[in-house]
Amino acid sequence: MEYKIAVGTSEGIQVDLKFGEAAFFQIYLADENGFRLLEKRQIKSSSPDGKTLLSGCDGYSEKEKLFGGSCEGCTGNGHGCGAPGDIADKVNLIGDCRCIVCKKIGFQAVRQLERKAISVFDVDCSVNDALNKITSYYTRIDSGMKN
Amino acid sequence: MAKLLDKQRYKCALGAMQSVQAIQRALPILHSGPGCAQKLCESVGSSGYFSPNIFPCTSVNEKDVVFGGVKKLDSTIENALKVIDADLYVVLTGCIPEIVGDDSEEVVSRFADSRKPVIYAPTAGFKGNNYKGHEQVIDAIVNQYLKKTDKKQKGLVNIWADVPYQDLFWLGNIREIEKLVSELGLIPNTIFGYQRGIGQINKIPEAEFNLLISPWVGVSSMKNMERKLGIPFLHYKTLPIGATETSRFLRTVGEYAGVDKEITEEVIRKKEDYYYYLIERYADIFLENRVINKQFTVVSDAQYVLGITKFLVNDLGLIPAKQFVVDDTPNKYREEIKEEFKNLNYGIKADVSFETDGYKIHEEIKNHDYHGYPLVLGGYYEKEVTEKLKGNFLNISYPVQDKVVLDNFYAGYAGGIRLIEDIYTVAVSRFN
């Protein structure tokens, strides 16, 4: 079974980008035989002035400036309760992936990803290492399901 | 082939966190998935200074399955040591880290130099039930914390009985056995319950011998202690309930410990006098054969099935129907335990079955001819089937739903009286 993995990496060697600060994700295509780089997905900004927002808690102060203060509860941004727009955009961007690998990720984003059944791996290691472990894990799970 | 277990009566080995909790100021640190402690704890006397809701837990998730959870374990132990004031930290591992292959032992060994002792017990669910987990905890204390010593305290005896919390009467029972043993002039040492903690654990190696009162739980730990600490052990299989068995128990312990026979007999005489004084006063109720049922069945773990069967036959003269041991006794102990059931007074033998499937047990109870209403002592699961048969039911073991036990007990002479009270309270209420 083929599936996609989103990775937060700047040069494709180390998992070195935090979910919030990543301006793009590398998308890998994987199956039981291995994985390969498929594409690079750039994050499109959704803020009014075209500026890319910082996500999660870090982004709150800036967001408050942009949206006039309130960022609690339903802000009417069209992305559901409590989900800052930039997080929702990023989650949508990698919505077709089975999991996301990045250096760090905020609680808010994890919740959003979990709702779409996207697994989160926040690890500090090389891309190869991470993908080897994850693909062998998925291969085992999938072969177990078939039996 | 995998099969479903109908009406389970024990938990997974991680349930040993309750054995740790029974040691005062000892804290379990769980290396397990989130929710394990919540599922394993029951609100039966488990709140207090530490309760299962605050046990530090690594809450391993998918990421830890893929990348290993040792880092998380390391930080959890480190922070537990900083934040929670305990005397002994016991790291218990659940199924997930053991399957994934986390080297928890290595992580725990990093804390060998910490101010407070940190030890590790592998208690993955697939290794067995909480009876086995209990043994693992004792083994961990012996192997990783205690040191062999030549210093021996005269008359000091470590007493081990069945599993705390799993056994409803664990606290009362062990206190009562302590009292009995101390009346022989010996000094009892136990590690579970009120005011029993690290101080008592430290005294374990100084004991002259270990006294184990359990059909099988703890036998391997006693053998381990014999090897590691050089402490011999006396294995008394039957939980002494009532005069016959308790007197036999005191004679056995007295003889083993080299207590003067006259002292032992004097203790027994005094205790039996009062015991039979009570029995005599209520002789009419015991001799009135319409009050109590003709045959009885016990459905419980090995210690209560054996203890209560002996008590009801030897002391009350009831006839045993089939007895059911539901604690998944390991095969190697089964024959020995079966032999004990052939060893009843008046040449009576009891048929015993080692069965964990509640459905089969209930079918057998339904199909047996009790020559009248049955008397069933067991877990709450047996209540319904007994009611259908219009029998008398007493909830004496896990699971317990219709009883609150703080420090009541069934062990010893006084415990026998308590059990008689409970059984006859159920029996006479039928006539009201």
Task: Count how many residues are written for chain B.
Answer: 432
Residue range(s) occupied by CATH 3.40.50.1980 in chain B = 13-144, 156-271, 279-429
Contacts of A122 in chain B (CB under 8 A): 63
Tokens of B105: 């032992």
CA torsion sign for B345, B350, B354, B359 is: negative
- Say what the pLDDT of residue A43 is: 85
Say whether pLDDT at A45 is over 80.
no
Distances (CA, A) of A100 to A66, A115, A134, B63: 28, 13, 10, 11
Say whether pLDDT at B238 is over 70.
yes
- Single-letter code of the amino acid located at B316: L
Give the lowest-confidence range in A55-69, A113-127, B53-67, B203-217: A55-69
- The reply to whether ipTM tops 0.85 is no
Give the lowest-confidence range in A36-50, A111-125, B393-407: A36-50
Provide the shortest C-alpha distance from residue A121 to chain B (in Å): 5
Nearest CA in chain A to B65: A137
Q: What is the pLDDT of residues B83-142, one digit of tens each?
A: 999 999 999 999 999 999 999 999 999 999 999 999 999 999 888 999 999 999 999 999
Tokens of A98: 């089975």
- Say what the pLDDT of residue B1 is: 58
Name the residue with tokens 């043993």: B181
For residue A80, name the pLDDT band (cuts at 50, 70, 90).
very low
**Distance in angstroms (rounded) separating the CA atoms of residues A137 and B85:** 39
Give the whole-number percent of chain B exceeding pLDDT 90: 85
For residue A86, name the pLDDT band (cuts at 50, 70, 90).
confident
The verdict on a CB contact (< 8 Å) between A133 and B67 is: yes
Give the lowest-confidence range in A6-15, A71-80, B26-35: A71-80
How would you classify residue B235: left for phi > 0, otherwise alpha for psi between -120 and 50, otherwise beta? beta
Contacts of B66 in chain A (CB under 8 A): 121, 133-134, 137
- Say what the pLDDT of residue A61 is: 46
Domain interval for residue A19: 3-146
Contact indicator for A26, A37 with CB cutoff of 8 Å: yes
Give the whole-number percent of chain B exceeding pLDDT 70: 99
Q: How many CA atoms lie within 13 A of B374 on its CB side?
A: 29
- Say what the pLDDT of residue A146 is: 59
- Say what the pLDDT of residue A58 is: 43
Q: What is the pLDDT of residues B248-277, one digit of tens each?
A: 999 999 999 999 999 999 999 999 999 999
Tokens of B404: 């609150």
- Say what the pLDDT of residue B87 is: 97
Average pLDDT of the residues in B161-167: 92
Average pLDDT of the residues in A18-38: 93
Provide the shortest C-alpha distance from residue A117 to chain B (in Å): 12
Give the whole-number percent of chain A exceeding pLDDT 70: 70
Say whether pLDDT at B282 is over 80.
yes
Collect all residues from A whose CB is shorter than 8 A from any CB in B: 119-123, 125, 130, 133-134, 137
Q: What is the helix (H) or strand (E) element at residue B322, kind and residue range?
A: none
The runs of H, that is alpha helices, within B282-357 are: 283-287, 302-314, 331-341
Q: What is the helix (H) or strand (E) element at residue B159, kind and residue range?
A: strand B156-160
Contacts of A133 in chain B (CB under 8 A): 66-67
- Say what the pLDDT of residue B236 is: 97
Per-residue DSSP letters for B7-73? Answer: S--S-BGGGGHHHHHHSTTEEEEEES-TTHHHHH--SSS--SSS-GGGS-B----HHHHHH-SHHHH
- Say what the pLDDT of residue B432 is: 63
- Say what the pLDDT of residue B393 is: 95
- Say what the pLDDT of residue A134 is: 95
**Distance in angstroms (rounded) separating the CA atoms of residues A99 and B62:** 11
Say whether pLDDT at A70 is over 50.
no
The residues near B21 (Cβ < 8 Å, ≥ 6 apart) are: B28, B46, B50, B51, B52, B164, B165
- Say what the pLDDT of residue A51 is: 47
CATH of the structural domain B156-271, one choice from 3.40.50.1980, 3.30.70.580, 3.40.30.10, 2.60.40.1180: 3.40.50.1980
Say whether pLDDT at A50 is over 90.
no
Say whether pLDDT at A57 is over 50.
no
Q: Is B67 on the interface with A (CB under 8 A)?
A: yes
Architecture in CATH for domain B279-429: 3-Layer(aba) Sandwich (3.40)
For residue B5, name the pLDDT band (cuts at 50, 70, 90).
confident
Number of domains present in the structure of chain A: 1
The verdict on a CB contact (< 8 Å) between B63 and A133 is: no
Q: What class has domain B13-144? A: alpha beta
Average pLDDT of the residues in B220-246: 97
- Say what the pLDDT of residue B44 is: 78
Tokens of B373: 């209403």
The verdict on a CB contact (< 8 Å) between A119 and B65 is: no
Average pLDDT of the residues in A52-77: 45
B277, exposed or middle or buried, with CB in 10 Å at 0-12, 13-18, 19+? Answer: exposed
The verdict on a CB contact (< 8 Å) between B67 and A121 is: yes
> Which residues sit opposite B234 in a β-bridge?
B211
The verdict on a CB contact (< 8 Å) between A120 and B65 is: no
Nearest CA in chain A to B69: A123
For residue A147, name the pLDDT band (cuts at 50, 70, 90).
low
Give the lowest-confidence range in A55-59, A128-132, B239-243, B400-404: A55-59
The verdict on a CB contact (< 8 Å) between A119 and B62 is: yes
Query: Domain containing A23 — which CATH number?
Result: 3.30.420.130
Q: What is the mean pLDDT of chain B?
A: 94
Tokens of B268: 């027994």
- Say what the pLDDT of residue A76 is: 45
For an interface test with A, give the residue of B63, B66, B70, B99 to mutate (most A CBs within 10 A): B66
